[in-house]
């Protein structure tokens, strides 16, 4: 199969064609020609008309639902959401049923996603059943194709166990992904502890629960000289600690979430269960610090933490609601409303995730077709009717966006949003 992309503005800073408008010819999933004008006939022709193109975007953390919770999302619906949002690579956490903790579990995800619209990368569990007690066979999962390791939505609470895990993955230069949440601090907290939680009468979770874990995990990474990625940071103090650690040479990278860049705890005044997330939404001061951290490069990535929840888990009292919101389809457009430059957005959803997790792929002849075409100035409203997930728990429906993905090309798959 041949695909011809006509007149695309190449925004891949690592490509020799950076900032030029070119035709791109793809044959059997491989880029075979890049030129000012290509006259070759093709099975599929896409007229980009000056739209921008980069290597496909990467989301480094979504919550796994397949196998075990396919009624929320399966791998196909996840890939449809990803492609709609411009993502060609999506990492899924091991919080499935059974837990993704073996070579077999990793191979299930990889094999099941081969014909889908994007590459779904399994994050292998660090501990058996993600219960924080006994290490899994991470090397077997690594050889089977696990992109990284972590217990997903369950932070590893034992410092001693995390030290062993960091030492284990250092043998193959692996990465541990960890959510910063000390579960012994206010385990029943429903939202950020502060003025708003007091006003609306919900039990609070203090910033301390995150700060303790960020500080601890930095020190463990320093001690082991191994790679840790802290995902979901939500506090200005977390940004400060990570910035300092990076300057000191600690092998720490980090990501915040899309929802922490958009919302604050004040948005919970109406008890919107789609905004019940962990770590919880923080103050506007923290949100602004996260945006600043993205701009100055302290924050490497923005992840959606895309979490599908069935209707019963969200249409209920806030106290009993499940955690998480959808986000894959909204990411680029919502980030465009934050004041971040296009270059900063691309750093944290494309170039930095690829660097950290070693999936770099420049727009050059001979490389795999792995592309996202997008419009920077496109504006509109997120429409629930166009949702590709099996679930509907998106906090972004009805909100304005700026910028959107229009097409992804992954191997021989071309998807038009």
The ranges of the chain with pLDDT < 50 are none
The 3-class secondary structure across the chain, one letter per residue, is: CEEEEEEEEECCCCCCCCCCEEEEEEECCEEEEEECCCCCCCCEEEECCCCEEEECEEEEEECCCCCCCCCCCCHHHHHHHHHHHCEEEEEECCCCCCCCCCHHHHHHHHHHCCCCCCEEEEEECCEHHHCCCCECCHHHHHHHCCCEECCCCCCCCCHHHHHHHHHHHHCCCCEEEECCCCCCCCCCCCEECCHHHHHHCCCEECCHHHHHHHHHHHHHHHHHCCEEEEECCCCHHHHHHHHHHHHCCCCEEEEEEHHHHHCCHHHHCCCCHHHCCCCCCCCHHHHHHHHHHHHCCCCCEEECCECCCCHHHCCCCHHHCCCCCECCCCHHHHHCCCCCCHHHHHHHHHHHHHHHCCCCCCCCCCCECEEEEEEEEEEEECCHHHCCCCCCCECCCCCEEEEEEEEEEECCEEEEC
pTM recorded for the entire structure: 0.96
What are the sequence ranges of the domains in the chain? 2-52+365-416, 55-356
Q: What is the pLDDT of residues 198-233, one digit of tens each?
A: 999 999 999 999 999 999 999 999 999 999 999 999
55-356 has the same fold as 2-52+365-416? no
* pLDDT at position 411: 87
Q: Which CATH number fits domain 2-52+365-416: 2.40.50.40, 2.30.31.20, 2.30.40.10, 3.40.50.300?
A: 2.30.40.10
Tell me which fold the domain 55-356 belongs to.
TIM Barrel (3.20.20)
């Amino acid at each position: 199969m041949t695909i011809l992309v006509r007149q695309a503005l190449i925004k891949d800073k690592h490509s020799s064609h950076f900032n030029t408008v070119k035709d791109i010819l793809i044959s059997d999933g491989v880029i075979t020609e890049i030129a000012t004008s290509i006259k070759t006939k093709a099975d599929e022709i896409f007229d980009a008309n000056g739209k921008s193109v980069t290597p496909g975007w990467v989301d480094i953390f979504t919550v796994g639902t397949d196998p075990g919770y396919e009624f929320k999302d399966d791998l196909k619906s996840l890939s449809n959401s990803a492609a709609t949002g411009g993502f060609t690579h999506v990492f899924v956490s091991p919080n499935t049923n059974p837990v993704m903790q073996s070579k077999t579990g990793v191979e299930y995800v990889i094999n099941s996603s081969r014909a889908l619209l994007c590459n779904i990368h399994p994050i292998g569990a660090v501990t058996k059943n993600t219960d924080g007690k006994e290490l899994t066979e991470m090397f077997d999962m690594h050889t089977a194709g696990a992109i990284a390791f972590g217990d997903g939505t369950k932070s590893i609470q034992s410092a001693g166990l995390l030290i062993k895990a960091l030492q284990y993955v250092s043998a193959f230069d692996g990465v541990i992904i960890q959510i910063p949440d000390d579960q012994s601090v206010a385990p029943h907290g429903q939202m950020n502890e502060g003025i708003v939680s007091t006003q609306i009468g919900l039990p609070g979770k203090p910033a301390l629960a995150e700060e303790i874990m960020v500080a601890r995990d930095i020190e463990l990474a320093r001690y082991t000289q191994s790679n840790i990625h802290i995902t979901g940071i939500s506090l200005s103090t977390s940004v400060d600690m990570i910035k300092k650690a990076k300057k000191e040479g600690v092998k720490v990278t980090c990501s915040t979430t899309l929802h922490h860049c958009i919302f604050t705890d004040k948005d919970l005044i109406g008890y919107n269960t789609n905004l019940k997330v962990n770590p919880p939404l923080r103050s506007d001061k923290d949100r602004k610090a996260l945006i600043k951290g993205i701009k100055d490069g302290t924050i490497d990535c923005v992840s959606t933490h895309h979490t599908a929840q069935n209707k019963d888990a969200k249409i209920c009292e806030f106290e009993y609601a499940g955690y998480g919101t959808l986000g894959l389809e909204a990411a680029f457009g919502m980030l465009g409303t934050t004041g971040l430059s296009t270059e900063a957005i691309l750093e944290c959803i494309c170039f930095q995730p690829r660097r950290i997790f070693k999936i770099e792929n420049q727009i050059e002849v001979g490389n795999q077709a792995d592309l996202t075409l997008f419009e920077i100035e496109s504006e509109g409203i997120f429409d629930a009717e166009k949702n590709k997930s099996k679930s509907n728990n998106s906090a972004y429906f009805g909100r304005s966006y700026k910028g959107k993905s229009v097409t992804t090309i992954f191997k021989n798959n071309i998807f038009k949003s």
